[in-house]
Amino acid sequence: MRKYLFPAKSNFYKANLHVHTTVSDGEMTPGEIKKVYSEKGYSIVAFTDHEVMVPHPELTDEHFLALTSTEISVNNRYDCDFGFVKTYHLNIYSPREGQNCFNTFDRTNMWLKHSFDYITAEQEMINYDRSYSVGCINDIIKKANDEGCLVSYNHPVWSLQDYMDYIDIKGLWGIELYNTGCARNGYFDSEKPLDDLLRKGERLFPLATDDAHRMKDCFGGFVMVNADELTYDKVFESLKNGDFYCSTAPELYEISIEGSKITIVTSPVAFVGLSTDCRQLYSKGAEGAELLTEVSFDLDWYFKLAEQAVNEHRYIRITLVDEFGNKAFSRAYHIDELS
């Protein structure tokens, strides 16, 4: 019997889950962001201005959804130039459209004077003391999760993060594999932190975002969300469940499995790869000028490896590469989801 891993629903909505406006250090107003992204076919934007959670329900209509969110930082403070300071940057996405405060707000971390205008009376009641440590990061994530929020780990390379900074983080919902603003300035993130955390048993999802502060940062990385309809609750539910893929261009249409045979249907690409938690890899490249649109792999040997239970955190995930080197990534599908 064929089981469809993706899509779970019929509608796709293009989303940018990381953008900054004039509320913090962006050059465009929230309304201008809506205009330029709508013109490029986006239906969803998460407004992640620094350190303050500002909802924009006035921007939401039947064709566009504004997600309420914020980006916070936890800096390794010492007396040197900011360019040498290691930092954690986390996006916190709210399940509530009108939420205007969050439980790890730190007034002392506010660094833009005009952003103080957006601190609400409710937010003034909270002042969380952040410190640069995995323990603090895990506490921030837990407090966000307790509110029903989703938390992403942003641009580890730009943040000067290494293995020891992220390997013990728990409870993340997502991690950026591609960040347009960083990549266009030479800071290219990788898939390694995602796989490192997946192999430790964390169930988190890959993201491609813009982190747009100005027009030159726009329209690079995006997420395609499968949701029943373009409403706040339905889109948030789909994001929470991982009903999406991330990309810089290629499109992923379908992943299905029947017995040990898995089939991937895509837009025309030059390469389809299926990676696992171990060195059991599967791939197919285009031959000549004919690009790939459907590829199947027999996972019988991988399933036999999984039965040995050498690693209890078994998973597969899909990578697409088009003829220009642009990539797309599925989420990880764990062994219990493949049965």
**CATH number for the domain harbouring residue 14:** 3.20.20.140
Task: From 215, 232, 247, give the residue that closes a domain.
Answer: 247
Give the helix/strand (H/E) hosting 276. Answer: strand 271-276
pLDDT for position 238: 97
What is the rounded distance in angstroms from the CA atom of residue 93 to the CA atom of residue 67?
Answer: 7
Same domain (yes/no): 278, 325? yes
- At residue 135, the 3 state secondary structure works out as helix
Question: Are 316 and 229 part of one and the same domain?
Answer: no
- pLDDT for 78 equals 62
Q: Which two tokens stand for residue 222?
A: 């995006």
Q: Tell me how crowded residue 119 is: count the other CB atoms within 10 A of its CB.
A: 18
Same structural domain, 259 and 240 = no
Residue 217 lies in a domain: yes
pLDDT given at position 79: 54
Position 203 in a domain: yes
The answer to whether the beta carbons of residues 297 and 320 sit under 8 Å apart is no
* Closest CA relative to residue 159, chosen from 237, 89, 207: 89
**Which domain does 260 fall in, by range?**
252-338
Distance CA 305, CA 172 (A): 28
The Cα 187–Cα 179 span in angstroms is: 9
User: Looking at residue 339, what is its pLDDT?
Assistant: 77
- Residue 99 shares a structural domain with residue 229: yes
Are both 292 and 171 inside the same structural domain?
Answer: no
User: Are the C-beta atoms of residues 293 and 253 closer than 8 Å to each other?
Assistant: no
Whether residue 60 is contained in a domain is answered as: yes
Q: Where are the alpha helices (DSSP H) in 190-290?
A: 192-199, 232-241
Q: Write down how long the chain is.
A: 339
Stretches in the chain below the pLDDT threshold 70: 8-9, 78-83, 310
Residue 2 included in any domain: no
In this structure, the answer to whether residues 235 and 257 fall within a common structural domain is no
* Domain end point (choices 215, 247, 279): 247
- Is pTM beyond 0.85? Reply is yes
Residue 310 has a pLDDT of: 65
Q: What is the pLDDT of residue 306?
A: 82
Token output for 100: 């205007």
4 found inside a domain: no
Is the same domain home to 48 and 116?
Answer: yes
Please give the backbone phi and psi of residue 229, each rounded to the nearest 5 degrees, phi first.
-160, 165
Q: Are residues 22 and 147 in the same domain?
A: yes
Note whether residue 74 is domain-resident: yes
**334 strand-pairing partners:** 315
Same domain, 263 and 235: no
Query: What is the Cα Rg of the chain in Å?
Result: 20
- Please name the residue ranges forming H helices in 5-125: 30-39, 121-124
Q: Provide the sign of the torsion angle of the four alpha carbons 53, 210, 189, 225, taken in this order.
A: positive
Same domain assignment for residues 220 and 291: no
